[in-house]
Amino acid sequence: MEKSLVEVDGLNAFYGNFQALKDISVDIPETEVTAIMGPSGCGKSTFIKCLNRMLETIENARIEGEVRIDGKNIYDPDVDVLEIRKKIGMVFQKPNPLPMSIRENVLYGPKIHGFTKDMEETLEGSLKAVGLWNEVKDRLDISAFQLSGGQQQRLCIARALAVEPRAILMDEPTSSLDPTSSKRIESLIRDLRDIYGLTVTVVTHNVHQAKRISDYTIFLYVGELLEHGVANKIFKKPKRKRTQKYIEGKL
């Protein structure tokens, strides 16, 4: 097994009295792509929100258990939440650029975190990493909303990269995009791992996508972790009947 970046240990998550995650323990290997699969409502979004303390932004939500990054529980009282969210960035289903220019979107994070690095370098590097630089370098000051959906999603990934995270969490990042834009995001996810050494965790309920992009796969089912491990193995010969059915699209 690879070295893990995140260790989840006995994680329970609740919305009021409803338990959305049940006793999840799993490791997320460092510098690998992990896909989180499972039917709608099984807790995929809830799970990734627990990994960078986003869950507590939802009223009524509560967690038990530990999530350790580099061995330190991110729910310890002395932990700086902003620092965690900087280390573990997030990209959502629908592209959500800030109502600002392309430049300001990318540099927003580095500015609030007081980065002292050359901002123009950060801007160019982040946009190049997502393959957007050549498309936008002559119009960095136009509103981000003038970009296409696929470009906006890549901009959101650039914004996450600009604060130099260790990992990026993505919640169905291609489900609102056309097939061509989706393919671009998929190959970008592989590049983030291969070229930039990032740990990427992607929620998807597209089994084919999970197969194409993931090194490790986690299968959730009604709040429980049914199966996890090396993606090849899971897709070839899952241990559980339910996983098999899900992979075959019969669930």
Ligand X SMILES: Nc1ncnc2c1ncn2[C@@H]1O[C@H](COP(=O)(O)OP(=O)(O)OP(=O)(O)O)[C@@H](O)[C@H]1O
Gyration radius (Cα) of the chain, Å: 18
Q: Does 173 bind ligand X (CB under 6 A)?
A: no
Cβ pair 212, 9 in contact under 8 A: no
Q: What is d(CA 133, CA 96) in angstroms, rounded to the nearest whole number?
A: 19
Cα 211–Cα 213–Cα 217 angle in degrees, nearest 5:
60
Q: What is d(CA 220, CA 241) in angstroms, rounded to the nearest whole number?
A: 13
Site residues (CB under 6 A) for ligand X, limited to 198-237: 205
Least distance in angstroms from the C-beta of 102 to ligand X: 29
From 43, 89, 95, 109, residue interacting with ligand X (rule: CB under 6 A)? 43
Q: Which is nearer to ligand X, 24 or 161 (CB)?
A: 24
From 4, 31, 34, 45, residue interacting with Mg ion (rule: CB under 5 A)? 45
Least distance in angstroms from the C-beta of 51 to ligand X: 12
Q: Which is nearer to ligand X, 38 or 110 (CB)?
A: 38
Q: How far, CA to CA in Å, does 156 sit from each of 55, 150, 237? A: 20, 10, 35
Q: What is d(CA 76, CA 19) in angstroms, rounded to the nearest whole number?
A: 22
Q: Which is nearer to Mg ion, 104 or 172 (CB)?
A: 172
Q: Which is nearer to Mg ion, 92 or 133 (CB)?
A: 92
Least distance in angstroms from the C-beta of 218 to ligand X: 12
Contact residues: Mg ion, CB under 5 A: 45
